[in-house]
Structure 1
């Protein structure tokens, strides 16, 4: 067998192996739903029972459930990571009028709702893992079906130039349950012009 034929067969095998790996390593839809449901159950137990819950003891006695949108995989998006050349420190306003300092790290750019969207990824000043980001956002559901002060996502970089943002994991800040808490307000860059019908709904 000629060398170029051997090389062609080798390349073909490698490509097929890569395709098979990609297909088999993708998260199974049922597994994905189970993962989101498990996280929601964890959230419920924390809010209901944990000593650090934002609920008062009286609220806990009457608390029955958290409300969420149905799990929708289309709201799990792969975003392009666009680093800020100058990672400035921003003083983010809190709901009580005070401020908290974060680093303006990157922008996450993605397609959703028939348009290109961009969100600012903030990083805590004392964050030790440079792949972890804090994402506070508001959208067209804010103040109606979801908390008017916006929602949060804990995002983690999973590629050299990409990050996955799963809006099914969007959760309410503590001040949505108890106004005595001070919570970061989403920056103006993170007010989306589309409805994000995923994640946690407003607490009643």
Structure 2
């Protein structure tokens, strides 16, 4: 066999192997649903049993379940990451009137609800992993089906110019369960004019 034929054969094997890996490594719909369900179960157990839970002892005893929207893969979004060149520290208002310091790091831009949306990604001034971000948002469900003070997501950069936002993992801040806690309010940039029918719903006291 000639050298160029050997090279072509090797290249072909590599390409086929790569394609096969992509298909086998891709998460199946069933595996995705199971992953979200496990995270929701973990969240419930934390609130119900953990000593650091924001729930009072009475609330813990009475907590039977948390309420969520049905898992919808369409709310798992691959967003464009738009870096903010001149990053500033923002004093983010809290529910008790105080403020907390976060770095204005980037914007996540994506299409959803028939329009282009953009969310501000904040980073704690004490964050050690520069790929981790805090996302607080409100949407058209806020104050109705979901907590009026907005919901949170912990997101992580997974590409050079991209980030995955999975609204199925949106969760309530501590103050949704117990008003004695102070929680960051969503910045004005993150008040969406679409309904995010995914993630955690209102806490039923």
Given the two structures, how large is their TM-score scaled by the length of structure 1?
0.94
Q: How does 1:58-97 map to 2 (within 5 A)?
A: 58-97=58-97
Deviates more, 1:52-61 or 1:182-191: 52-61
- How many residues in Structure 1 have an aligned counterpart in Structure 2? 204
Residue equivalent to 1:117: 117
SS at match of 1:164: strand
What are the within-5 Å matches in structure 2 for residues 174-185 of structure 1? 174-185=174-185
Matching residue of 1:25: 25
Give the gaps of 5 or more residues in structure 1.
none
Counterparts in 2 of 1:140-151, with a 5 A limit? 140-151=140-151
CA separation of 1:12 and 1:197: change in aligned 2, threshold 3 A: same
C-alpha distance in 2 between matches for 1:18 and 1:71:
30
**What is the rounded CA distance, in whole Å, between the counterparts of 1:161 and 1:57 in structure 2?**
44
Does the residue aligned with 1:121 lie in a helix, a strand or coil?
strand
Q: Output one character per residue of 1:39-73: Cα deviation in whole Å (capped at 9) or x when no partner.
A: 11111011111111111112222211110001111
What is residue 186 of structure 1 aligned with on the other side? 186
- Cα offset for 1:113? 1.5
Task: Quote the residue 2:173 is aligned against.
Answer: 173
2:147, 2:108 → 1: CA distance? 22
Match of 2:35 in 1: 35
5+ residue gaps in structure 2? none
Asked whether 1:137 is paired with 2:132, we answer: no
Distance in 2 between residues matched to 1:23 and 1:41, nearest whole Å:
29
Change (3 A) 1:114 1:17: farther
1:49 is aligned to 2:49 = yes
1:80 CA displacement: 1.0
Match of 1:196, SS? Answer: coil
Q: Which residue of 2 aligns with 1:197?
A: 197
